[in-house]
Each structure stands twice: as C-alpha cells, then as structure tokens.
C-alpha cells in the first residue's frame, strides 16, 4: 500500500470512528461550513506583524489590508462581550495564557492559580514553573463549588501578589470574579475557554459587566472551540489600554506567523454567533437541565446536586475507582465519548459530560431521554444488546449543524469572495 492510500485508509477510519460515536465530550465541538470557508483562504499564508490595536509601519506589503480585520474583530467583540480591545493572534487557549504570562510577569513574580484538584488546567503550574513565576493555589470552597473569596482576599494581602489566574477546565458554575479584591497593580486573568459562547450568548454572566472601566486590571481570554464553536484560536479581551500595551508585544516577540486564516475563521464564527448565538446557548442550557433531571431520576449522583449546572458540563460522581473504571470502559466500548476524572471536586471519582456538540445538532428532547436511558443501563450493567440498540439511534441520527447560515447563504458568501 502506497503512502497516499495509507493516508486515505487512516482518514476514513478516523472519520468513521467519530461518526459512530455519541459525542458527549465537553472539550470538542463542530465548526459550520460557513466558518470553515476561511480555512482555505489565500490570505492564510500572509504575514501581519505587530500589535492588534495599531498598525505597525515597516510591515509586509499589503498587510495594511489585513489589519482592517483587527478593527472588525474589535467591533464584534465590543458588541458580544463589551470588551474594547480584542486580540486573536495567539494560536490556542494555552498559547494565549503562555503568551500573557510571558508578557505580563517577571521571573520571581507571585501569581495565584487554580488547582487541578478542583478543575484547574493541569498545564498552568508547569508553564509558570518554566517561566520562573512563583505560584500559589486559589483557595476553594468544595461545598459551594466556588472560590473561597474571603480566604483568597486574605491571602492576597499577605504577599506582593502580581496576578490571579482563574483557569478552569472543569466548570459548573461561573465564578463571581467581582468578589476578588485585587491589590494595587495585581492583574486578574480569567480563562473563559469553556464558556466563551455561553457568555456571548447571554446564558452566563459577562465579567465585563463588572470590569468595564479602562483602569480595571482584568483580562479575559480563551480558546474559541468549545461553547463558541470555532476553529482552534486564542482570543484575548480587555478594556484596559495599559494592559493591552503590555501584551501587544506577543507578536513579534513570541509569535511571527499568526495563522491568519484561523483569525479570519474566528471572525466569521463571531459574525455567525452574533446572529445565532443566543438561541444556540439557550439550547445548550436547556439540554443540560433536561439531562440532569433524567440522570438524577436514573440514580446517578451529580456533583452539582439539585442545582443545575450553569455551563455545558454535567459531572457524575462514583463511589470508588472500580465503579468509575467499569462505567468509563463501557462508555468507550459502546462509542460514548465522555471524560474520566479522578479529582477531589468529583469526590475523587467522576465523569465529565458536555452537551455543546449535540446542542448544535438540535436533537429533540426524545434524544435526551435516550441518552439518559443509555447511561443508566450502563450504570446498571444491563445486557449489551439493549444498550447497542439505543446507541444505534445516534449513529443514524441527522448530524446537520444548526445555528448557522443556510446553505444558500453560505454558498453566496463563498461566491462573493475572490478566492472562488
């Protein structure tokens, strides 16, 4: 078999695997044909050096035309997020936080970060260590599934703290960042990767409702491929021009080629989201509420208890590692994409579910009933034939992407571009 045929085989096997899954992974989503148009743009190979807010002279010929897209991005993010300054030069969420840490802090600076035991991103401590940044953990209230604000505010007064980085991969309830009492010259950074779409869709509270002033030391950032259903790209937002100037040097200091086709695709995703995002976000929350009720009725223990998650995530708790592994391995066997967690916030043994992808397929409430039945049957270790019968429903289900422009509108947009 030659290399081309080998590639074709590998690709088709991978596509078939995903097409036969029940997609309940909280980290993945599907991108619309409208947003994907920019991935083949002839502008993808072009360079734009310098800041996101001001055009840098002595640039590549023609790059002044590319800079106009930065202005458009700022206008979109002001309407969707209430942020005056938007930066999409970083390549991913983790690239955004790494670039911010390198731009804003010095070796020896103290930054409070989220502990992975309650859902913090596992890379942050490692990145800080490599950069010579000293870290402390943000205290957490496990009973209320939120930051222990009183303790954090006390801790912030004890040392010369330069930053607070709230970076949660596992999140049920959006933190009340306005309760954090920042010392002078201390920067609050919030990784909203999981909830960027829900914030723009008005289903989660918007931190910029509290940090709207130009002197607020606040930055929100994240990756644009979770509840905001775009291609992988980092997005950095602030209202503070002083902070903006500090991280403007991301390019060219830490990045050169900024993958301009991904920036263009993010802009089209935001255009799409401005029109359809509220309806999509509302469907995510309704699905989460509906499935949570059914899982509780099926005998599952939800970490949120009787409270409904405010995000796209649902967390299930298991009494021991054996039960967790048995459930998780069965999900893998039947093609159900979930995430296994062994963290304190899950009572040590848990499963994370995300509904952002199936919400985009706009499956009806009967599908939610079927998901609850499948997970309950697995939990009860019922015969495999019964489970397979229900899983087959999803394999045959229509996976049309909703909350986007129609096929005719997408084709017209594409035809209007000179690339066509």
How far is 22 from 400, CA to CA, in rounded Å? 14
Q: Is residue 237 part of a domain?
A: yes
Longest dimension (CA), the chain: 69
Phi, psi of 295 (to 5 degrees): -70, -40
Q: Is residue 288 part of a domain?
A: no
Tell me the per-residue pLDDT of 321-371, one tens digit each, with 9 for 90 and over: 999 999 999 999 999 999 999 999 999 999 999 999 999 999 887 889 999
How far is 134 from 159, CA to CA, in rounded Å? 12
State residue 384's pLDDT score.
79
Residue 33's closest CA among 418, 402, 415, 416? 402
Please determine, for residue 383, whether its predicted confidence score (pLDDT) is greater than 80.
no
State residue 419's pLDDT score.
79
Q: Is residue 26 part of a domain?
A: no
Q: Is residue 19 part of a domain?
A: no
Higher pLDDT, 88 or 1: 88
Tell me the per-residue pLDDT of 9-62, one tens digit each, with 9 for 90 and over: 999 999 999 988 899 999 999 999 999 999 999 998 888 888 788 888 888 888
Q: Is residue 296 part of a domain?
A: no
Q: Is residue 382 part of a domain?
A: no
Tell me the pLDDT band of 420, cut-offs 50, 70 and 90.
low
State residue 402's pLDDT score.
97
Q: Is residue 347 part of a domain?
A: no
Report the mean per-residue pLDDT for the chain. 94
State residue 41's pLDDT score.
93
How far is 374 from 390, CA to CA, in rounded Å? 7
Tell me the pLDDT band of 281, cut-offs 50, 70 and 90.
very high
Domain residues for the domain of 139 are: 33-274
Model confidence, pTM: 0.95
Q: Which two tokens stand for residue 179?
A: 């309760």
How far is 334 from 47, CA to CA, in rounded Å? 45
| Mean pLDDT across 59-69 | 89
Residue 149, number of CB atoms within 10 A of its CB = 18
Please determine, for residue 252, whether its predicted confidence score (pLDDT) is greater than 60.
yes
Compute CA distances 170 → 11, 12, 163, 175, 185, whole Å.
30, 32, 21, 12, 29
User: Looking at the 3D structure of the chain, how many domains does it have?
Assistant: 1
Q: Is residue 164 part of a domain?
A: yes
CATH for 50: 3.40.640.10
């Amino acid at each position: 078999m030659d290399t081309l045929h080998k590639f074709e085989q590998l690709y088709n096997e991978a596509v078939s695997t995903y097409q036969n899954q029940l997609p309940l992974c909280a980290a993945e989503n599907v991108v619309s044909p409208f947003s994907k148009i920019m991935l083949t743009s002839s502008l993808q190979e072009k360079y734009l050096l310098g800041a996101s807010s001001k055009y840098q002279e002595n640039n590549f010929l023609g790059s002044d035309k590319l800079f106009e897209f930065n202005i458009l991005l700022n206008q979109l993010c002001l309407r969707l997020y209430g942020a005056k300054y938007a930066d999409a030069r970083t390549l991913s969420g983790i690239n955004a936080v790494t670039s911010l840490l390198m731009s804003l802090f010095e070796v020896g600076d103290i930054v409070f970060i989220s502990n992975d035991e309650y859902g913090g991103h596992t890379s942050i401590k490692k990145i800080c260590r490599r950069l010579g940044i000293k870290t402390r953990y943000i205290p957490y209230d496990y009973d209320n599934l939120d930051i222990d604000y009183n303790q954090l505010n006390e801790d912030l007064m004890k040392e010369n703290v330069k930053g607070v980085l709230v970076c949660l991969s596992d999140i049920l309830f959006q933190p009340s960042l306005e309760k954090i009492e920042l010392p002078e010259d201390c920067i609050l950074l919030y990784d909203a990767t999981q909830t960027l779409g829900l914030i723009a869709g008005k289903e989660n509270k918007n931190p910029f409702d509290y940090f709207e002033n130009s002197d607020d030391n606040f930055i929100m950032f994240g990756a644009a491929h979770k509840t905001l259903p775009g291609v992988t790209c980092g997005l950095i937002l602030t209202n503070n021009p002083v902070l903006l100037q500090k991280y403007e040097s991301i390019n060219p200091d830490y990045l050169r080629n900024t993958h301009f086709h991904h920036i263009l695709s993010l802009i089209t995703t935001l255009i799409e989201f401005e029109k359809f995002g509220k309806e999509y976000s509302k469907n995510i929350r309704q699905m989460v509420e509906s499935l949570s009720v059914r899982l509780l009725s099926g005998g599952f223990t939800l970490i949120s208890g009787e409270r409904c998650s405010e995000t796209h995530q649902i967390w299930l708790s298991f009494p021991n590692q054996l039960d967790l592994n048995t459930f998780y391995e069965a999900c893998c066997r039947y093609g159900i994409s979930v995430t296994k967690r062994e963290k304190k916030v899950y009572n040590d043994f848990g499963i994370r579910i995300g509904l952002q992808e199936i919400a985009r397929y706009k499956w009806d409430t009967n599908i939610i009933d079927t998901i609850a039945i499948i997970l309950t049957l697995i939990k009860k270790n019922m015969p495999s034939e019964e489970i397979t019968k229900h899983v087959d429903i999803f394999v045959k289900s229509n996976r049309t992407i909703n909350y986007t422009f129609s096929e005719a509108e997408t084709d017209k947009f594409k035809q209007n571009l000179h690339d066509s």
